[in-house]
């Protein structure tokens, strides 16, 4: 049986259970921490992250996928520590969000080599291997630097079979250009998750789905309670609209290509008190405790919920043959 590398060791895909496929254990400014380590209260961050991960575990989450890249502050020792203490296996990613200057000017093969090292050998000085590749665009057309990263990720994916997950802005229809580049590199788009596919532009979503990709409906809990109009100004849906999007796609027969997550973090760059007041539902336990009852009320069946939270993540990680 296929296994997935996690902080608890290789995990049989059949044991993944309920999966949150797009989360962040910790987001920080890594360059600031490096030169000013006293700016980071590790003990306080550790306590908070363990509590939030345990809340997810207690709500029925069995596995969490951390899509924090190196430029967003991925700290492999911290992730291993808090995941172990919380008794919640975490899949760690390789990849890039912004494109560091080195990767902008070096060859595509250098970026590819970095991804491969983290997938096949381990991250930093550990034996912890990346189980997924995370890549990002925010505009309708990707930049030359992003194009290079996507092609490097595609080649690392094809060499290892490790799946690809992306960050997008659905209002910019980023997913179409992402699919174009990945397909140009020979990637089977059914092994790709197009993240943040949260829009009521169903024509756009159908284009992505018709090419075989999974869609991440993965910002549940992201509503700003202090500014209810913020989502609309950013071209993003609110909670009611997210539930409606999932329900409609399920009615259209696409439950087998959907994934649910929060895109929240245990600790981030925001002040904790402000974050908790502003995003009170930005928690790892929000989907199992609150969103699933709302989806059931909206007509989504328990079978479809199990597909989105259990079967689909298992299928993604089970399909890891190089090609």
Query: Who contacts 191 (Cβ-Cβ below 8 Å, separation ≥6)?
Result: 157, 163, 164, 316, 319
- Whether 212 is in a domain gets the answer yes
Cα Rg of the chain, angstroms: 18
Judged by DSSP in three states, 142 sits in coil
**Number of other residues whose CB lies within 10 A of the CB of residue 225:** 11
Neighbours of 204 (CB within 10 A): 16
- How far apart CA 279 and CA 286 sit, in angstroms, is 11
Q: What's the distance, CA 110 to chain centroid?
A: 24
Asked if 137 and 167 touch (Cβ cutoff 8 Å), the reply is yes
Judge whether 167 lies within some domain: yes
Look at the pTM and tell me if it is higher than 0.85.
yes
pLDDT in tens, 48-95: 999 999 999 999 999 999 999 999 999 999 999 999 999 999 999 999
Closest listed residue to residue 149, CA positions, set 180, 104, 118, 92: 104
In a domain, 125, yes or no: yes
Query: Tell me, what's the pLDDT at 267?
Result: 96
Residue 323, domain member (yes or no): no
Q: Residue 185's pLDDT is what? A: 98
Residue-level pLDDT at 232: 83
Which residue in the block uniquely carries the two structure tokens 């060791």? 9
Please, which residues bridge with residue 193 across strands?
A: 165, 214
- Cβ–Cβ < 8 Å for 259, 214: yes
232 exposed, middle or buried (CB, 10 Å; 0-12, 13-18, 19+)? exposed
**What is the domain-level CATH number for residue 177?**
3.20.20.140
Which pair of structure tokens corresponds to residue 316?
Answer: 């993604």
- Residue positions counted in the chain: 323
Which pLDDT does position 234 carry in this prediction?
84
Q: How many CA atoms lie within 13 A of 18 on its CB side?
A: 18
DSSP 3-state assignment of 261? coil
pLDDT attached to residue 165:
98
Positions of the chain with pLDDT under 50: none
* Per-residue model confidence as pLDDT tens digits over 4-58: 999 999 999 999 999 999 999 999 999 999 999 999 999 999 999 999 999 999 9
Neighbours of 44 (CB within 10 A): 11
Distance (Å, whole) CA 98 – CA 88: 28
**What one-character DSSP code corresponds to residue 128?**
P
C-beta separation of 259 from 246 below 8 A: no
Greatest pairwise CA separation for the chain in angstroms: 52
The answer to whether 159 and 317 have CB atoms below 8 angstroms apart is no
Structural domain including 277 reads 3-318
When divided into structural domains, the chain yields a total of: 1
Contact between 94 and 119 (Cβ < 8 Å): yes
- Judged by DSSP in three states, 181 sits in helix
Q: Residue 149 has what pLDDT?
A: 98
Give SS3 for 196.
coil
Say what the pLDDT of residue 253 is: 98
**Within-domain flag for 170:** yes
pLDDT of residue 231: 83
Q: Which H/E stretch holds residue 6? A: strand 3-6
User: 169, 138 in Cβ contact below 8 A?
Assistant: yes
């Amino acid at each position: 049986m296929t296994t997935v590398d996690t902080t608890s060791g290789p995990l049989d895909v059949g044991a993944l259970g309920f999966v949150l496929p797009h989360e962040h254990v910790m987001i920080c400014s890594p360059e600031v921490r490096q030169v000013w380590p006293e700016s980071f209260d590790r003990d306080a961050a550790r306590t908070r992250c363990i509590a939030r991960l345990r809340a997810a575990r207690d709500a029925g989450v069995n596995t969490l996928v951390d899509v924090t890249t190196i430029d967003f502050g991925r700290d492999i020792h911290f992730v291993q520590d808090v995941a172990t203490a919380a008794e919640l296996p975490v899949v760690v990613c390789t990849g890039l969000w912004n494109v560091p200057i080195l990767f902008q000017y070096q060859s595509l093969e250098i970026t590819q080599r970095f991804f491969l090292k983290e997938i096949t050998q381990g991250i930093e000085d550990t034996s912890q291997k990346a189980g997924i590749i995370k890549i990002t665009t925010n505009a309708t057309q990707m930049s030359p630097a992003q194009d290079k990263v996507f092609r490097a990720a595609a080649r690392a994916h094809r060499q290892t079979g490790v799946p690809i997950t992306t960050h997008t802005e659905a209002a910019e229809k980023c997913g179409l250009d992402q699919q174009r580049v990945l397909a140009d590199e020979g990637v089977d788009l059914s092994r790709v998750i197009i993240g943040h596919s949260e829009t009521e532009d169903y024509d756009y979503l159908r284009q992505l789905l018709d090419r075989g990709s999974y869609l991440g409906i993965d910002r549940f809990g992201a509503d700003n309670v202090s500014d209810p109009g913020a989502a609309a100004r950013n071209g993003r849906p609110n909670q009611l609209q997210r539930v409606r999007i999932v329900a409609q796609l399920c009615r259209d027969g696409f439950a087998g290509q959907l994934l649910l997550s929060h895109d929240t973090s245990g600790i981030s760059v925001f002040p904790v008190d402000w974050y908790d007041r502003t995003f009170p539902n930005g928690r790892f336990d929000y989907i199992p405790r609150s969103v699933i009852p709302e989806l059931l009320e909206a007509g989504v069946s328990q079978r479809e919920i199990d597909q989105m939270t259990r079967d689909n993540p298992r299928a993604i990680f089970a399909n890891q043959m190089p090609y």
